[in-house]
Structures are given as C-alpha cells and as structure tokens.
Structure 1
Amino acid sequence: MENNLPFVSVIIPCRNEESFISKFLDSVISQDYPKERIEILVIDGMSEDRTREIVKGYIKKYPFIKILDNLNEFTPFGLNIGVKKSKGEIIIRMDAHATYKRDYVSKCIKYLKEYNTENIGGVIKTIPSKNTLTAKTVAFSLSHFFGAGTSYFRIGSKESREVDTVFGGCYKREIFEKIGLFNEKLIRSQDIEFNKRLRKTGGKILLFPEIIAYYYPQSTLFSFFRHNFLDGIWTTYPLKFGIKIFSLRHLIPLFFVLSSIFSLILSLFFKNFFFLFLFIVFNYLFLNFLFSFFISLREKDFRYFFLMPITFFLRHFGYGLGSIFGLFKILLK
C-alpha cells in the first residue's frame, strides 16, 4: 500500500534560522507519511549562525534530510534549487519559521489526489514566538481579519474553498514543467506571483482547514514593522518588471496611508480637506479600538486594549508606507 503513495519532496529555503530550525525539522520528521517516500531538502542561503550545523546534526540521524547551498541567499533562488534538485512527484514548500501538524503531508497528498487540482494548502495557526505581551499582540494581529483581511489561510475557514494563494503549497511536479519556476526577480511575493501564473493557465488552488501549520511571527514591534514595510515594498515594486501581484486587499493599506497624508497636506490650503482627514482618522481609530477591545475581552486581559491598536497600526502603516516606497523605487530608477 505504501509503495502506491507518491514520492514527496519537501523543500525549505532558509537563512539564519538557528532559533527555529530544530523545532521545524522535528515536526517534519514526525509526519505520519512513510519515511521511505519522502525527502527533506533544506536549501540554506549561506547562514551566518548555527543553522547549517544544526541541520547537519539531523542529517547524521535521518538520511532522507539533505542540505543544499543557495549562494544567492534569497528565497526564490532557494526554491528553484529545491525544485530542480528534488526527486518527488509531489513538491511541498515549507517554511522554517513554522511547525506542521503530524498529518500535514498525508492530508496534502490525500486532497491533491482526491480533487486532482494544481495546488493544495491549509491554514496557519499563528503562535507567539515568545511568551511576551508584544509577541502575542503580533500573533493576534496576523490572525485577525482587521490585520489580515480576507487572507483565508491566515484568518481560517470553516470549509474548503478555492483561493488565490496559500501558505507554502503542495504541487504536482508537472506544474513547474508547465508554467516554469519561481520568478527570481522577486525577493518577496514570488509565491503569490507563481500562484497567479498558475491560475492564469486554468489551474486551481484549494484551501482545506484540516491541513494545519503553526507559524511563529516576529516577537518585537520593530521587527514586525520592518517585516510589513518590506512586504509592502514587494507588493508594488514588481510593477517595475511588468508583474502585477497584488489584489484589492494588498492595496487597502496603501490607500489608507496615501489618503491620510494627502488629506492632511491639502488641509493646509483647503480647510475642507481637514474634515476629510479627521473622517479617515476617526473611522480608522474607531475600528482599531473596537477590534482591540474585543480581543482584550476574549483574552480577559485589558492590556491588549492599549497595545493592540499600536500593533494593528504598525501592520497597516508599515505595509502602506512600504507600498509607497516600492512605487518611489520604480520612479527613481
């Protein structure tokens, strides 16, 4: 029976993940999928910490784990190295900053076969990476629709559905032969662009809530802001290469920041624009504090009422500001 199961290649691009790589590898090794039908390819972007040393320690115990060099360091190069070097009929992308439920791989294979679709994914449960109030607010903001919009793999779904992208992804090898590899011009958002290409050729991406991963985001407000700022840049900057990766939910932070800035500037010359500025700010603050209040009630800790608004703001403002910066980078060059 096990010989009838497809051979699976798990590819993991990473760099400087010494804090998470052991926990990640333990979760993949613990998968209920037969070990003789799986390979784990860690594509390391020339880490400067102990990541490589830790992975090599696992390789001594588990021969189905391999480490590959990504001399270019960035994610899309690592993904493409993984795809090219992999042997599996099925390729599953994973993230070293996450852990995976024991049946993650087997569920992916089950649904990929059952629905005969091009890409399968699940939901992520966002877990604080540290036991601090700040780390918890970051996790809450990424799993709440006020922070994540209609990104179903983040906010969850009660039923399976067709979506525009998923976390990671489980692909048949033939998909890469049909539409090509990940775009190496895109330091970030290469997965979104790949999935847009997949859908343009008639492919489908299905999300199943039974497929579960646990994601550990940034633990400080500064690192959280920086992450969102960089994500924002790579929402708009791909336009330089003639690539449109964004959907409406990606542009809402951009509209929020632009409308706030321009209405404030114009209010210096036309007083009516000051009322528009107040309208934008008041409505944003109302929603921000309202959702923060509900979170504080849910967690039975009123401190979240004061910290969540800051975290939500850093999420929205960082992403929006990054999107503006991405457009400026195009114009300046």
Structure 2
Amino acid sequence: MILSPLPERPAVSYVMPVLNEEGFLEAAVRTILAQEYQGEKEIVLALGPSRDRSSEIAKKIAAEDHRVRLVENPARDIPAGLNLAIAASKHPVVIRVDAHSELTPDYTSLGVSALRETGAANVGGIMRAAGRSPVQRAIARGYNSPYGLGGGAYHGDGTPGAAESAYLGIFRREALDAVGGYDPAILRGEDWELNLRIRRAGGIVWFAPALQVTYWPRASLSDLRKQFFATGTWRAVLVRKYGRANPWRFFAPGALVVFLALSLVALVLLSVGALPWASWWSLLLLPLAGYVAGIVFATIRIREQRGVADRILTAVTLITMHVSWGTGFLRGITLGGGRVVDRSRA
C-alpha cells in the first residue's frame, strides 16, 4: 500500500456512530471540539434510531457549531454508520471516535504526527476504562487488566510498534478507500477485521501508547453480559471467515466454557453418587478448581480495589466477561452471527 505524503497539519474528519448515547454524547463531542490541533476539523455523527434524546442532543450541538454535521443511519449497526459518516466526510485523515470515549487534548496532534513519522495507514493508542459507580469501576478494572480482556496492546501499556489492530483508529483516507471501508456484514469486531484487510493490503497498523482515550464501559453486569455475548459471537464469525489469521486468544474463552461445563457436570454426578470420587472421573474437576484459583489470584493482583466488596465485584465481573464471551463464541462458531447484536444500549 503506497500512501501519498501527508502535510504537517492535514485537515481531519472525526466520525462517530450514535445510538442511545444521551448520557455520553455531548461530553464526547466536546472533547473533540476541544482538541489542541491547528488543522481544519469536522465531525460527522451517524445517527441511528435512538430511543432516548441522542438525536435531539446531536441536532442541538450541530446547530451551535458548523463543524458538526449529521447523517442518518437507519440500519443502526456500527459498521454501516461508520461507512456513512466516512462517505459524508471530506478530509484526508479520518479519526474514529466513540460516544463512550473521551480524547485527551493532544490526541489528534500526536496521532497525526505518528501517521507522518511511521507512514502507517492507521494509528491507535491506549484505552483507559473508567467508572463512576462501584459496578462500572469493577467493569473498568476488568477492561484494564490482562485477566479481564487480555490480548490487545491497547488494553495496557506497551512500546510503540506495528500492531495487529488499533483501538478506534486514526486512518489515512487513502487506506480506507483502498480496502473498501468497514464490512457492514461484521456487526462486532469490525475494527480487527478492517485492520486485517489493511495489513493484508500492505498497510501498517501502528500502536502509539502516547495516545490516550478514556472509555466509559457498561454500568451494569446485565449490560456487560449482553455486550460480551455479542462480541464473542462475532469473534467466532471472524474465526470461521479468516481461520488461522485469528490469534489463539480468540479461542480461549470458548474452550474455558466447555471445560467448565464438563467440570460442573462431573461435580453433580460425583455429588449424587453416580460416579465414584476415588476414580479418574474426579480429574474432571480440575478445570473448575483451576479457574476458581485463577479468579482468586486475579482479584488479589488487580489494583485500585477498596475492600472486600470491590474484590467480590471484580471477581463477578471477570466471570461475567469470560463466560459471556465464551458462550457467545460457541454460539457463533456453531451457528454463525445471524442477527446477534449488542442490545446493551437499546
């Protein structure tokens, strides 16, 4: 992928899909408008069929600032909304933003500098999850810990370098055009899938840890479960579609759920006397025992906890993440994605 030279301060287009985000939308847009970047800026919001005041808030912001423009996203899905916003935008650098995220003031300037210095097609930084309520803070701890999500460099600290994917993303428009943008058929995991196609086309995806984004995760365990079930389902779709291009960690939660299910069945049969304890059948309890030990170890190691209640919430959060993701993965690997979507914001 050959990209043209980028000027020192290219004009940038921020694109954001919006659906039921009345509690976050205005703050997210304000952090964009407050970016300490001297180049020309525009924001395009793709409005899905929200059931709250999101569209009203977006129209108010657009009326107050000519740099904010709106497009309709009747399909409601994130990839479709992103493609519509990108098509309506005009500048050579496209910056994906999320209504649940807040950018640091230097995010754009640092990202554009990284694009110019590395020749990358896409640059991303670190996602720092934060919370206000005890449950949301526990979920944030799960996001920020390798014991929760693990894997991607953008969930923790690291050194700059070529990466598998990027959180959100600061893109060269040429790269997006070259690969055809987001795949509207991939309803979750669309970032990883797009970055895979960019890398296969010869583009560089670059991790720049100097880029910092605050992310406000779901605030209830029920919403977290819905989100992670959908995420696991669509990760399985990516496994079905791209096979060995997927990292091994995509398979771990699904395998965990299978082994935990075997352990629980064995525990019931042993407890009722259907199987003898003094036999090799008792070895089937090892996955369950190992997982419980792992959760205890993780809750001891994870920082920013205050007392027993926080540790219990952390443990429940980790289990919800792992089991929801894993069951979703098993659903997706056997039945495909279908119309499984994240209903946690509905």
TM-score of the superposed pair, with normalisation by structure 1 = 0.91
Note if 1:105 corresponds to 2:111: no
Please state whether the residue corresponding to 2:115 is helix, strand or coil. helix
1:81 maps to a residue whose letter is L
Task: Measure the CA separation in 2 of the matches of 1:49 and 1:177.
Answer: 33
Query: Which ranges of 4 or more aligned residues in structure 1 deviate by more than 6 Å?
Result: none
Extract unaligned runs of 5+ from structure 2: 1-6, 340-346
Deviations 1:237-258 (A, max 9, x none): 3456x34574211211111011
Note if 1:318 corresponds to 2:324: yes
- Say if 1:108 and 1:121, in contact at 8 Å, map to a contact too: yes
1:127 maps to a residue whose letter is A
Distance 1:277-1:305 versus aligned 2 partners, 3 A rule: farther
Please state whether the residue corresponding to 1:165 is helix, strand or coil. coil
Task: Measure the CA separation in 1 of the matches of 2:89 and 2:337.
Answer: 39
TM-score of the superposed pair, with normalisation by structure 2 = 0.88
- Say if 1:124 and 1:156, in contact at 8 Å, map to a contact too: no
- Say if 1:77 and 1:184, in contact at 8 Å, map to a contact too: yes
For 2:311, the equivalent position in structure 1 comes to: 305
For 1:49, the equivalent position in structure 2 comes to: 52
Distance 1:270-1:186 versus aligned 2 partners, 3 A rule: farther
CA drift of 1:46 comes to 2.2
Task: Measure the CA separation in 2 of the matches of 1:77 and 1:61.
Answer: 26
2:318 maps to a residue whose letter is F
* Most deviating of 260-269 and 136-145: 260-269
Extract unaligned runs of 5+ from structure 1: none
For 2:288, the equivalent position in structure 1 comes to: 281
Task: Measure the CA separation in 1 of the matches of 2:61 and 2:337.
Answer: 47
Task: Measure the CA separation in 2 of the matches of 1:167 and 1:330.
Answer: 25
Please state whether the residue corresponding to 2:166 is helix, strand or coil. coil
Task: Measure the CA separation in 2 of the matches of 1:22 and 1:319.
Answer: 30
1:174 maps to a residue whose letter is E
CA drift of 1:188 comes to 1.1
For 1:209, the equivalent position in structure 2 comes to: 209
Note if 1:86 corresponds to 2:89: yes
For 1:13, the equivalent position in structure 2 comes to: 17
Distance 1:142-1:332 versus aligned 2 partners, 3 A rule: closer
* Most deviating of 91-100 and 197-206: 197-206
Deviations 1:65-98 (A, max 9, x none): 0011011111111111112111011111111111
CA drift of 1:332 comes to 10
Please state whether the residue corresponding to 1:48 is helix, strand or coil. coil
2:329 maps to a residue whose letter is S
For 2:146, the equivalent position in structure 1 comes to: 145
- Say if 1:119 and 1:171, in contact at 8 Å, map to a contact too: yes
CA drift of 1:270 comes to 7.6
2:185 maps to a residue whose letter is K
Distance 1:45-1:7 versus aligned 2 partners, 3 A rule: same
Deviations 1:157-214 (A, max 9, x none): 2x21222111111111111222112111111111111111111122221111110110
